[in-house]
Amino acid sequence: MVATTPEGRTQWLVEHLGKGADSRSSLMAVLPTREDRTALQRIISPCEWELQWTGACREAIDAFRQTSPPIVICDSDLPDGDWRQVWNILASEPKPPIFIVTSRLADEALWAEVLNVGAYDLLLKPFRAEEVIRMVHVAATRIAPARHKLLCRSAT
């Protein structure tokens, strides 16, 4: 039986969606603030997800080209630009990632723009564990079979 408290739901999500006996999910977070990185790290740490950090457009693009993570979580505003600059480059890569934009504003126009340009979704801040875990898990299930091999690796 699943607990009905927020802590119980989050624990269930981590156990059933954030962990896998034979795979690790790889994602990159493009977050310029320590506050956001700390919050996301707290949520991600119990999960078997490998997380790569960057904090600016150029750094994110360079890191993506080196490691090609299948999922990228990107802040809407970055010190050297914004999510659009990162997405425009990554979307043209041979294996573009599932791209999730984060924002403090529950802005319907931003959400519509994110979806219209082909990015995956908008994740609101402050981060909620249930939403982060659910969104990353669902994004991982949408990866094309060719990308799925890059996402799931042995957890030995």
- pLDDT: which is higher, 10 or 91: 91
Q: Is residue 147 part of a domain?
A: yes
Q: Is residue 10 part of a domain?
A: no
Q: Is the pLDDT of residue 114 over 50?
A: yes
Q: Is residue 60 part of a domain?
A: yes
Domain with 145, as residue range(s), is 25-151
Q: Is residue 3 part of a domain?
A: no
Pairwise CA distance, residues 81 & 22, whole Å: 38
Q: Is the pLDDT of residue 156 over 80?
A: no
Number of folded domains that form the chain: 1
Where residue 74 sits, what CATH number does that domain have?
A: 3.40.50.2300
Q: Is residue 1 part of a domain?
A: no
Give the model confidence (pLDDT) of 24-82 as tens digits: 458 999 999 999 999 999 998 888 788 999 999 999 999 999 999 999 999 999 999 99
What are 98's strand-pairing partners? 71
CA 18 vs CA 2, 15, 27: distances in Å = 16, 6, 12
Give the model confidence (pLDDT) of 80-106 as tens digits: 999 999 999 999 999 999 999 999 997
Phi, psi of 82 (to 5 degrees): -145, 180
Name the CA dihedral angle for 74, 81, 124, 93, rounded to a multiple of 10 degrees: -30
Helix, strand, or coil (residue 74):
strand
Q: Is residue 108 part of a domain?
A: yes
pLDDT number for residue 99: 97
Helix, strand, or coil (residue 67):
helix
- CA 107 from centre of chain: 19
The owner of tokens 């994602």 is 27
Q: Is residue 156 part of a domain?
A: no
Q: How many helices (H) and strands (E) does the chain have?
A: 7, 7
Q: Is residue 74 part of a domain?
A: yes
